[in-house]
Amino acid sequence: MTTSNRRNFVRKAGVAAAAAGAATIGAPTVLRSQTPIRWRLQTYAGSTLGQFVTKPLVDAFNEVAKGEMEIELYYADQLVPTGELFRALQSGTIDAVHSDDDSMSAPVDIAVFGGYFPLGTKHALDVPTLFHQYGFADIWREAYSEVGGVVWLSAAGQDPCNFNTKKPLKSLSDLSGLRLYTFPTAGRFLAKYGVIPVSIPYEDAEVAVQTGELDGMAWSGITEDYTVGWANVTKYFLTNNISGAWIGSFYVNEKQWSDLPAHLKQAYLSCVEASHTYRNQWYWGGEAKLRATGDKLELTAIPAEEWRQVEEDAKVFWEEIAQTSERAAKVVSIFKEYNQIIVAAGTPYTCG
C-alpha cells in the first residue's frame, strides 16, 4: 500500500468512525423523539354514553397527532371514582378529565355552577354563550389558577336535567320521598321538595332502580335515558326540567399541559371544540326524536302554574349561592343578566 493510499484509508476510516460514533450517540435522542407522549383521560360518562360524548374527541386527537401523542380513554370510575377526579388530576394520577366541576368535587367556589345549576339555562347553546360572551371563561380560568395543578380549558352544554322515574310525576308533591340519582347541587335543590338524593357509581344506577334502591334519575335528558338503558327500567319521563343544559368542561394536569408542544396543544383544543359541536347536535336531535317517537317512556308534565313555584325557589337558591363568595356572586349576577335578556327576547330563547 503506498503512503498516499494509506493516508486516504486512514482519513476515510476516521470519517466513517466519526459518523458511526455520531449515529450511536444520537440514537437514544431519535428513539425518545419517536416515543409518543401518552395521556390518560377519564370521563364522567359510563362506557355506553362515553362512546358518544367523549370518545369522538379522543379518536380525532389520536388521528391528528400522527403518532406524536396518544390518549387512552377511561370511562366513569375506571381509574378513580368520579368524586375524586379533581384530586387525581391535580396529583398527576391522570392527565386529563371530561366532567363537570360539581361531580368531580373541584375545590373552587364556582364548582356549584357546573353540572346542573337550577334554572340557570334553557338550552345547550346558553352555555357557550355565557362562557364566550358573558365572561364565564375568564372566571373559570381564574378560579382554577388559584387552586393550582389543574388547568380549565373549555366548557359546553349538553342535555337538560329531566326526571325519569318508575312512577308518574304530575305534581310537585309527587317528588316527595323519591330516591333519585342526581348531581350534588341538583340534589341539594331538589331536597326542598322531599327528594332524597342518592350518590352511587354511574354504571350502578340502572341496577339500583331494578333492585329498588332508586326510584329513578334526575340526571339527564331523554337521549341519555334511551342510550344507556335507563329507559328500560323506568316508565315515565317528566318534561319539566330543573336545568336546560349540563355545564361540562375539559381539564388537564397543569404540568402535562405546560410540557406539551404548542402544536399539540392547538390540536387538542381544536378537537375539544369540535367535540362540543358534535354533542350539541347529538343531544338536540335525540331529545326531539325520542320525545316524539320513543316507545319506552310515557311523557308527563307538572302544570306550568305549579312549576312557577320551582322557578321562584330557584331565585332564592341563587341568592344563597351568591352569599358564598364574591366570585359566586359575580356568576349569579351574570345568570340574572342573561336570563333577563332571554326573557325579553322571547321565543325561542325562553322555551324550555
Non-local CB neighbours of 18 within 8 Å, separated by 6+ positions: none
Q: Is the pLDDT of residue 28 over 60?
A: no
Non-local CB neighbours of 304 within 8 Å, separated by 6+ positions: none
pTM (predicted TM-score) = 0.88
pLDDT in tens, 230-262: 999 999 999 999 999 999 999 999 999 999 999
pLDDT in tens, 95-126: 999 999 999 999 999 999 999 999 999 999 99
* pLDDT of the residue at 350: 85
Non-local CB neighbours of 299 within 8 Å, separated by 6+ positions: 236, 237, 239, 291
What confidence category does residue 33 fall into, taking pLDDT thresholds of 50, 70 and 90? low
User: How far, in Å, CA of 1 to CA of 63, rounded?
Assistant: 58
Instruction: Pick 228 or 9 by higher pLDDT.
Output: 228
Topology (CATH) of 36-159+245-293:
D-Maltodextrin-Binding Protein; domain 2 (3.40.190)
For 167-188, give the secondary structure using H, E and C: CCCCCHHHHCCCEEEECHHHHH
What is the average pLDDT value for the chain, to the nearest integer?
92
- Residue 53 is which amino acid? V
Per-domain residue ranges of the chain: 36-159+245-293, 162-242+295-345
pLDDT in tens, 181-222: 999 999 999 999 999 999 999 999 999 999 999 999 999 999
Measured CA distances, 272 to 47, 55, 134, 281 (Å): 19, 11, 20, 15
Structurally, what CATH architecture does the domain formed by 162-242+295-345 represent?
A: 3-Layer(aba) Sandwich (3.40)
